[in-house]
Amino acid sequence: MNLILNLICRCSGFVLLVCLFSNTSVLSAEEYQLDDPATWADSLFWESLKPSGKITGWEFHDGEVSLVRPGGESILSKPVASDFELSFDWKIATKVNSGVKYRVRKHGAPYWNKAYQGAGYWGIEYQIYDEKPNTDALHATGAIYDLATAAPDKKVLPPGTWNTAKIVADGSTVKHFLNDSLVASITTEGPEWERTIALSKFAGFRNFGQSSTKSRIMLTDHGGKVSYRNFRFVTLPQKNQSSVQRAGPFLADGMRNSWADQNSIGIWTRTTRFPEMNSGGKKFQSISNKQVKVLEEAADPVQFLTAQLPVGASLDDMIGACPGAPGEVRLTYFPEKRLKSKKQTTQWRKTSAAEDFTAQWHLSDLAPGTRYVTVLEVRSPGGQETTAVLRGGFETAPAKKLRKSLSFCMTTCHDFIRTDNGLQGHKMYPSLEKINPSFLVHAGDIEYYDKPEPWALTVELMRFKWGRIFALPDNRAFYKGHTTYFLKDDHDTLKNDCWPGQKYGSVTFEEGVRLFNEEQFPSRTPRYQTVQWGKDLQVWFLEGRDFRSPNTMADGPEKTILGVEQKAWLFKTLDASTATFKLVFSPTPIVGPDRSGKKDNHANTIFAHEGEQLRQKFSSVDGVIVLCGDRHWQYASVDEETGLWEFGCGPGSEKHQLGWKKGDERPSHRFLRVAGGFLSGHLESKGQSSELTMHHRTVNGDVVSTFRFPVEKSP
């Protein structure tokens, strides 16, 4: 056993430390007398944040701690309690930016510095600053830095003079005193705190500023000489910061966006009664396809619901239920690195049952190639206090003439009853987060009205399904922070292989279209779009339901999926494009091959005339590749007649692969995998050239295929 003898003699601020032992040791935090100023003036109580840990810019003498050689060297104390009163004196030279940070802990990279390596120490800060006349009150002396302003009438003695300060951190109550006067305070819990953090540089830090068993004190070096003395630390009884019960409304369905280009985007949200979906709810009654047909013939909306609910249960009692609630919402948005100069906040907007408590904003005049932050707030109708806050973001497309490397992903076909990660959501979403694509395309069949638990034979049940699937935690977490394009297909319009004029239960095709196009997703007219993501990549998003002819119509020049206007727009914009790669995102296959029994896409004989027209046109334009959803298997194929490439992204769930026999490879196939996953594309610009790499991936993100374009031709 090591023999350790620590003898500390302190006289007039002089510290003598004698250590007799076999291995070097210093005092633990518990052995220091934190209420003794001499402890804080002991160099062994501190360590440098530089990699070596050795302090070079600070000096410790005569009871003072002084930064004498500024150079970005902040110092960190031994661990101390997070609930305390700390008083001290401070003196600065001119042009100094310094401060005392507390409740300091390790956090990951801040949102505004993605290049930051590893974890760093961050905490609440008592700002000390040689102020200029126009200094922001959030950054003035005595302020709770970036979180709470300092009192404008505070009394600050000039540089070269000692000031006194006190910090009180008592559970969720934080106060700053300057020369015996309270100058700033804040409560570190509740919606207002969440809003404050969301609009600060500390956004994304888990439990930032919260009370815990241990944390540290930091003296910062942000430029200029500063001295401290007379530190006195009094530990306060620790208080548990338990979550306060809130009345709502909430934002359990998060936010999502669509239709992004260089300068605009649509943002969507929904106000909810509870902060999370009903994960412990009851199961729906099982009814057969035959019983569904009988209910449809009865055409009684009440029967559609009661036949599927347990006796005595309401829809809100069911598993996944995420009922809406009236509220008021507003949106704040700004470029990620320009919060102070470019922040914009909308007016409060009311939500109502008529629109399923949803709200939308169309943002314009945005900057191209820019990462934006979005912060949503919600409050009760007519209320004054925010009840919930959600922070997210999106990326605008880069300037059309800019050559830029980027990644994108594509998925299709997933629903609530076939999630592959239980009530957490779909496994692919954490995998997508790791890739961090510039945009994601969801190519339709996002949810299935015509599948059980429940069969959505009414608008009420359709809305129930939308509220449920986007309240899954992983799904919600991804969509709030990424640029997305949502296409619509048959199952999330009305029913399998549907077309205008049909009904499903009590819902008409036109009602199903309105629900998707105008209520449950960001709206846009028309429902098709092309966006150039820089000089080398242009993308097209097709609307495959609203304009189509009935499947039963005889094939020929008049039979269409895209409609006359959309097809004319598509051909015209393709001809005008100068992008190297032209990607056409389609809800349904255009090349295939597809099953012979299917009757609603261009890879089938039932739409053969328009399918041939599209394949001929696409193959005549350099750089066109088709990427499609709808199919429950992954594939890459080349049309034997035209040489047109098509990629099927496959279903977004491990529980949703079906419809094609494993190993049944046709001559057009270049890749076939009957399993869940998604598609990713990676554009790399090199000087005056660019390369596009396509990967099929598993739901866990593992690469299972690789294709590079331009395709290398055989000698």
The model's pLDDT over 457-511, given as tens digits with 9 standing for 90+, comes to: 999 999 999 999 999 999 999 999 999 999 999 999 999 999 999 999 999 999 9
pLDDT at position 28, please?
52
Q: Count the Cβ atoms, other than its own, within 10 Å of residue 397.
A: 28
pLDDT at position 118, please?
53
Q: Residue 667 corresponds to which amino acid?
A: P
pLDDT at position 460, please?
97
136: pLDDT confidence band, cut at 50, 70 and 90? confident
**DSSP state letters, 568-583:** HHHHHHHHH---SEEE
Exposed, middle or buried: residue 569 (CB in 10 Å: 0-12, 13-18, 19+)?
A: middle
pLDDT at position 244, please?
64
pLDDT above 60 for 412: yes
pLDDT at position 276, please?
97
Omega within 30 of 0 (cis) for the link into 249: yes
Sheet holding 181-187, edge to edge: 58-61, 64-67, 226-235, 84-92, 163-170, 173-178, 181-187
711: pLDDT confidence band, cut at 50, 70 and 90? confident
Q: Of 676, 689, 682, 674, which Cα lies nearest the Cα of 706?
A: 682
93: pLDDT confidence band, cut at 50, 70 and 90? very high
Low-confidence winner among 106-110, 377-381, 657-661 (lowest mean pLDDT): 106-110
187-234 pLDDT, tens digit per residue, is 999 999 999 999 998 998 989 999 988 899 999 999 899 999 999 999
525-548 pLDDT, tens digit per residue, is 999 999 999 999 999 999 999 999
pLDDT at position 135, please?
84
Query: What mean pLDDT is predicted for residues 57-75?
Result: 94
pLDDT above 60 for 11: no
pLDDT above 80 for 435: yes
Highest-scoring range by mean pLDDT, 20-34, 78-92, 234-248: 78-92
**Which residues, in sequence order, are bridge partners of residue 645?**
625, 638
pLDDT above 50 for 563: yes
Query: What mean pLDDT is predicted for residues 682-690?
Result: 91
Percent of the chain past pLDDT 90, that is, above it, reads 83
Average pLDDT, the chain: 92
115: pLDDT confidence band, cut at 50, 70 and 90? low
Q: How far apart are CA 162 and CA 473, in angstroms?
A: 51
pLDDT at position 308, please?
96
What pTM value is reported for the model? 0.90
Return the structure tokens found at 436: 């961090």
CB-CB contact of 299 with 508 (8 Å): no
pLDDT at position 112, please?
61
**DSSP state letters, 119-140:** -EEEEEEEEEE---TT--GGGS
CA torsion angle for 431, 432, 435, 440 (degrees, to 10)?
Answer: 160
Exposed, middle or buried: residue 188 (CB in 10 Å: 0-12, 13-18, 19+)?
A: buried
How do strand 484-486 and strand 439-442 relate by DSSP bridges?
parallel
Q: Of 477, 412, 441, 415, which Cα lies nearest the Cα of 632?
A: 412
pLDDT at position 186, please?
97
pLDDT above 60 for 10: no
**Residue 14: which H helix or E strand, with range?**
strand 14-20
Q: Which residues contact 164 (CB under 8 A, 6 or more apart)?
A: 87, 88, 89, 178, 179, 180
Q: Angle of helix 608-620 relative to helix 564-576, nearest 10 degrees?
A: 10
CA gyration radius for the chain?
Answer: 31
24: pLDDT confidence band, cut at 50, 70 and 90? very low
pLDDT above 80 for 52: yes
CB-CB contact of 292 with 506 (8 Å): no
pLDDT at position 57, please?
94
pLDDT at position 554, please?
96
Q: Count the Cβ atoms, other than its own, within 10 Å of residue 705.
A: 18
pLDDT above 90 for 280: yes
Is residue 407 classed as helix, strand or coil in its secondary structure?
A: strand
Query: What mean pLDDT is predicted for residues 305-309?
Result: 95
Number of H helices, E strands in the chain: 11, 37
pLDDT at position 104, please?
96
577-592 pLDDT, tens digit per residue, is 999 999 999 999 999 9
CB-CB contact of 250 with 274 (8 Å): yes
Dump strand ranges (E) for 500-657.
Answer: 503-504, 507-508, 529-532, 537-541, 581-586, 624-628, 634-638, 645-648
211-221 pLDDT, tens digit per residue, is 988 899 999 99
**Count of residues in the chain:** 715
339: pLDDT confidence band, cut at 50, 70 and 90? confident
Percent of the chain past pLDDT 70, that is, above it, reads 93
Q: Count the Cβ atoms, other than its own, within 10 Å of residue 440.
A: 21
How do strand 84-92 and strand 14-20 relate by DSSP bridges?
unpaired
**DSSP state letters, 291-337:** HHHHHHHHT-HHHHHHTTSPTT--GGGBTT---B---EEEEEEEETT
Q: Which residues contact 612 (CB under 8 A, 6 or more apart)?
A: none
pLDDT above 50 for 8: no
CB-CB contact of 405 with 278 (8 Å): no
Low-confidence winner among 293-307, 417-431, 497-511, 522-536 (lowest mean pLDDT): 293-307
pLDDT at position 18, please?
34
pLDDT at position 21, please?
33
